[in-house]
C-alpha cells in the first residue's frame, strides 16, 4: 500500500494516491500516468475546450483524450444523439440496427477506399482486424510497417514505434510479453524511404501479407509524407497484389472527412478509423475493398472471424453519425486547420525571439514543439535526439498557467472546434513567459 497523503493534500492528490493502490501506475494505461510528471491530477468534468479537476482547477485542454475530441468536450448535439440511442437500448447483439447501416453508408460516402465496413470499439481492434483480413486474402504472414508508426497495443505491430538509436533498422518490441513469432513476422523500414521498401519487396515479396502505415505519422509528433513515397508504395503493393492498409485512426475525420487518403490522393485497400470518428465515444471501424471485407461475411468455418460483443453499440454509432454530419456541415476542418497554422507560426516566432534551438512540427489541427532539433523531420531517426527534459519543463510551466497537454515529448497537441482566438492568444502569451525561463 502507498503511504497516506498528507493532511493538506489536494483532493486530486488523495484520489491519485488511492488509485495507485488499486490501478497500476494510478491511471488506465502508462501513457495516461505520464500526466503525473507535472503533478497529480484528477479530472471530474470537461466542456468545450476546458478540463476541470476535482479541486475546481480549470485547464485549456490540448490533449483531448489523445485526439478523439474534434468538436469539443460534451458537444451538445453529439451527446443528445447518444442519449436518444440509449433510450432505445445500448446493445442488441443480433441482427442489424438502422444506425449500423447509416454510419457505414457515411463511411462509404466519405472515405475513397471504403466499400464495406466492420465496426469495432478501438483503433487497436481496427488494425488487428485489417491485418487478419490481409493475411487471409494473401495466405502470407509478414507485415511491413514503418519506424515511428503506432498501430495499437497488439503483438502484430507493436514493434519499432519508439526504438532507441541502437534499435534502428531492427524489429524492436515495444512491450514485454510479446509473442516472438509475431515480432519476427513484422518487418520494419524508415518512413519516406522508397528504396528500403523496394528492398523488402525484393527479399520478402512472396511472404508479404500487407503494408500498414500512418499516412501522416503523428505518433512521433508529425512526419509529413512525400507524395512520391506514397505513390510508389501504392504501385509496389498493386504490382505484388499485397493489401495497402492506411491506419487513419488519428488522421481520419480529424484532418478531413475524406481522410489523409483523400487529401493526398492515394487510395489504400483497407482503412482503419477511430478517435475523431465519435468525438470521444468508443467507436471504430475497418473498411475497404468489398472482396477483402466480404471474407468476414459470417462463414466462420472458412472465412475471417471479426467479432466483438460491443461492436456496433448504439451510443457509439449515434455519436459517430452526429460527429460526421457536424464535421461536414459546419466545415470543422477549415476552422481547426487555420487555427493550427496560427499556433505553429506563433510558436516558431517565439523560438526565434528567445533564441531557443527547436522546431514546431504538425499538420492541420495537430502541432508539436520539439526542442534541441531542427529541420523538417522526414523519418523517425530525425526525431531522435530531441531534448526531452526541456519539453517536460515547458509542459510543467504551461500547466501551471492553465494549459494541459501530455508531457511526453514525442506526442502532440490537438485542437478542437471549441478552441478559438481567445485560447490561442492565452497560449502564446504564456508560452512566451515559459520559454523565457528555459
- What does the alpha-carbon distance between residue 265 and residue 225 come to, in Å, rounded to a whole number? 12
Q: Which of 176, 180, 235, 228 is nearest to 211 (CA)?
A: 235
User: Does residue 349 have an active-site annotation?
Assistant: no
What the block records as the C-alpha cell of 293 is 471485407
Q: Which residues are CB-contacts of 128 (< 8 A; sequence separation ≥ 6)?
A: 152, 154, 156
Phi, psi of 227, rounded to the nearest 5 degrees: -60, -40
User: Does residue 247 have an active-site annotation?
Assistant: yes
- What does the alpha-carbon distance between residue 127 and residue 152 come to, in Å, rounded to a whole number? 7
Q: Which one of the listed residues 59, 62, 128, 150 is annotated catalytic? A: 150
The string of DSSP codes covering 209-236 is EEEEE-SS--TTS--PPPHHHHHHHHHH
- Other beta carbons within 10 angstroms of residue 140's beta carbon come to 18
Cell 476541470, residue?
52
Q: Which one of the listed residues 40, 158, 247, 387 is annotated catalytic? A: 247
- What does the alpha-carbon distance between residue 87 and residue 72 come to, in Å, rounded to a whole number? 24
Between the alpha carbon of residue 86 and those of residues 89, 278, 312, 348, the distances in Å are 5, 15, 13, 46
- What does the alpha-carbon distance between residue 351 and residue 5 come to, in Å, rounded to a whole number? 39
Catalytic residue IDs: 150, 247, 275
Amino acid at each position: 500500500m502507498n503511504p497516506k497523503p498528507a493532511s493538506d493534500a489536494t483532493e486530486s492528490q488523495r484520489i491519485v494516491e488511492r488509485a495507485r493502490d488499486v490501478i497500476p501506475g494510478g491511471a488506465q494505461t502508462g501513457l495516461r500516468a505520464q500526466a503525473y510528471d507535472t503533478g497529480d491530477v484528477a479530472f471530474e468534468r470537461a466542456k468545450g475546450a476546458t478540463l476541470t479537476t476535482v479541486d475546481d482547477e480549470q485547464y485549456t485542454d490540448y490533449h483531448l483524450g489523445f485526439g478523439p475530441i474534434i468538436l469539443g468536450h460534451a458537444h451538445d448535439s453529439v451527446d443528445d444523439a447518444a442519449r436518444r440511442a440509449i433510450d432505445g437500448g445500448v446493445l442488441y447483439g443480433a441482427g442489424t440496427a438502422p444506425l449500423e447501416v447509416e454510419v457505414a453508408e457515411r463511411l462509404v460516402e466519405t472515405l475513397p477506399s471504403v466499400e464495406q465496413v466492420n465496426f469495432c470499439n478501438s483503433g487497436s481492434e481496427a488494425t488487428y482486424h485489417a491485418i487478419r483480413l490481409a493475411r487471409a486474402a494473401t495466405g502470407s504472414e509478414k507485415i511491413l510497417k514503418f519506424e515511428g508508426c503506432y498501430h495499437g497495443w497488439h503483438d502484430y505491430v507493436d514493434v519499432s514505434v519508439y526504438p532507441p538509436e541502437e534499435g534502428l533498422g531492427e524489429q524492436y518490441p515495444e512491450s514485454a510479453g510479446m509473442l516472438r513469432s509475431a515480432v519476427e513476422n513484422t518487418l520494419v523500414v524508415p518512413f519516406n524511404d522508397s528504396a528500403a521498401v523496394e528492398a523488402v519487396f525484393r527479399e520478402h515479396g512472396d511472404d508479404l501479407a500487407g503494408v500498414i502505415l500512418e499516412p501522416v505519422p503523428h505518433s512521433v509528433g508529425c512526419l509529413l509524407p512525400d507524395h512520391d513515397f506514397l505513390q510508389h508504395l501504392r504501385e509496389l503493393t498493386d504490382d505484388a497484389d499485397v493489401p495497402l492498409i492506411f491506419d487513419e485512426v488519428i488522421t481520419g475525420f480529424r484532418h478531413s472527412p475524406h481522410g489523409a487518403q483523400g487529401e493526398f490522393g492515394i487510395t489504400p485497400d483497407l482503412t482503419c478509423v477511430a478517435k475523431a470518428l465519435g468525438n470521444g465515444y468508443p467507436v471504430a471501424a475497418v473498411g475497404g475493398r468489398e472482396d477483402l471485407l466480404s471474407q468476414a461475411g459470417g462463414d466462420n468455418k472458412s472465412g475471417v472471424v471479426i467479432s466483438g460483443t460491443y461492436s456496433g453499440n448504439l451510443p457509439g454509432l449515434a455519436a459517430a453519425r452526429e460527429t460526421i454530419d457536424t464535421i461536414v456541415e459546419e466545415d470543422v476542418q477549415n476552422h481547426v486547420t487555420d487555427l493550427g497554422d496560427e499556433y505553429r507560426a506563433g510558436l516558431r516566432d517565439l523560438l526565434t525571439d528567445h533564441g531557443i534551438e527547436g522546431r514546431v512540427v504538425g499538420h492541420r489541427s495537430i502541432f508539436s514543439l520539439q526542442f534541441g532539433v531542427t529541420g523538417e523531420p522526414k523519418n523517425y531517426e530525425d526525431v531522435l535526439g530531441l531534448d526531452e527534459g526541456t519539453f517536460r519543463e515547458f509542459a510543467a510551466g504551461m500547466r501551471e498557467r492553465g494549459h494541459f497537454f501530455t508531457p511526453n515529448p514525442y506526442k502532440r497537441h490537438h485542437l478542437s472546434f471549441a478552441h478559438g482566438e481567445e485560447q490561442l492568444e492565452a497560449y502564446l502569451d504564456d508560452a512566451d513567459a515559459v520559454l523565457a525561463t528555459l
